[in-house]
Amino acid sequence: MLSFVDLFGSVAVAETLSISGAAVSAAIAADNVAVALYFAMLFALSPVGEAKDAVAVIDKDAEGLTDPESVESATNNSISLSSLAVAVSTSSLLVTVGGILSRALLPKGTSALPLTSVLTVAAATAFPKFFQSLRSAGTAVGILCIQMFFAASGAAGSIRMVLQQAPSLFAFSVLQIGVHFGVLIGFGRLLGLPKRELFLASNANVGGPTTAAAMAQAKEWKTLVLPALLVGILGYATATAIALALGPILLRLPQVKLF
């Protein structure tokens, strides 16, 4: 579950299903190792640079950079104390409203993270200009928070503990990713889809929108950065809900120890 819902979705599922912190930390530690190795393989297999048919699209989009409104938007989209304050205040408001709506609309004990994510996407869709102005400040705050999250998760987990006491977590993560890669690449190539798009879709599925967008940027796939983000967000919206629905069913199944 962890690889395909990503860390934040996993926290939401763990919170809803009352899974112990030790189990979550061990799962995150095991998954991080498997995902890091997988991302290294994806980057090695992926070509650098846009496809030839995408160059014309990039050149056409570049023409808009000389537009006065585009230049003004890029100038105003800088990081300042006021923009940081507005970004933090907006995110705090969305989290608060998401928590209130979750308690009012969802079953007791359900995490507020899925509904907060949906609420954020809806707000960004309804007020694109406002959220566009917070892009740089929001990205800076988000990077800081996600690094703190990774540090806290890593401090609570131990790779040696995972391999000694719960190797099935690591084996399951590797099995998930292996099946995912085989099915995606197999069917994708049968349908004639470009390899770069398949690799990016795989990254978005395993790592989420942030890692997928980072990969597109690093590989200079400029036309695929936004689609990578959208596909990753779609995964958040669907996979987390599916995991929450399947959680009670899976917990009732008999447990089988592989190791």
Give the model's pLDDT for residue 71: 42
pLDDT of residue 6: 52
> Given pLDDT bands bounded at 50, 70 and 90, which one contains residue 90?
very high
Query: What was the pLDDT predicted at 257?
Result: 60
Say whether pLDDT at 125 is over 70.
yes
pTM over 0.75: no
Q: Which of 75-89, 93-107, 179-193, 200-214 has the highest mean pLDDT?
A: 179-193
**In the block, residue with structure tokens 């940081």:** 84
Average of pLDDT values for 205-231?
Answer: 82
Answer whether residue 140 shows pLDDT above 50.
yes
Chain-wide mean pLDDT for the chain?
Answer: 74
Q: What is the pLDDT of residue 100?
A: 92
Tokens 């890669």 -> residue = 181
- The confidence band for 62, taking pLDDT boundaries of 50, 70 and 90, is very low
pLDDT at position 184 is 92
Of 114-128, 153-167, 206-220, the poorest mean pLDDT is in 153-167
Residue 39 in tokens: 């991302």
In this model, does residue 70 exceed pLDDT 90?
no
pLDDT of the residue at 159:
63
